[in-house]
Amino acid sequence: MEVSGPSVIIISAKRGAHRPIMNLHERSLSVLACRYVDEVIIGAPWEVSKDMITTFNISLVVRGTVAENDDFQKDDGNPYAIPISVGIFKVLESPLDITTATIIRRIVSNHEAYQKRNEKKNASEKRYYEGKTFVSGD
């Protein structure tokens, strides 16, 4: 299965600032780690076109059930309109309810604890180096 993804500019415009939360390399590697994925198409358009389906010999376009919004179902600008019309679109039940918003909330909620832990480590390291004595070679 080939996987494609729209550019950062399109994602930021549609989903808001600070999206996507991983860079292109991280996103590509994460998707390629899925055993069902054969290839990632970098720089793919937001909408799956007939030309794209033909060029890459795409036999199935899949979307999970968990999403931050279901705007894609609107008639105007549905990125899956062509795969739906040619019968190669499928919705798969998402096993978890994790979204980008969920991940961002986790990062923000753990940020303060992370900062406190690092401040404690830095203070401990500073005390170590300030009290460190060297053995004389005499």
pLDDT band at 119 (very low <50, low <70, confident <90, very high): very high
- If you average pLDDT over every residue of the chain, what do you get? 80
User: Under the phi-then-psi rule, with left for phi > 0, alpha for psi from -120 to 50, and beta for the rest, what region is 42?
Assistant: beta
Cis (ω within 30 of 0) for the bond into 6?
no
Q: Which residue has the higher pLDDT, 60 or 67?
A: 60
Q: Using the predicted structure, report yes or no on whether residue 33 has a pLDDT greater than 60.
A: yes
Give the mean pLDDT of 94-123.
Answer: 85
Q: Which two tokens stand for residue 107?
A: 């990062």
In the block, which residue shows the tokens 């190669």?
Answer: 88
Task: Look at residue 50 in the predicted model and tell me its pLDDT.
Answer: 95
Give the mean pLDDT of 7-23.
Answer: 62
Give the mean pLDDT of 86-104.
Answer: 86
Task: Look at residue 8 in the predicted model and tell me its pLDDT.
Answer: 54
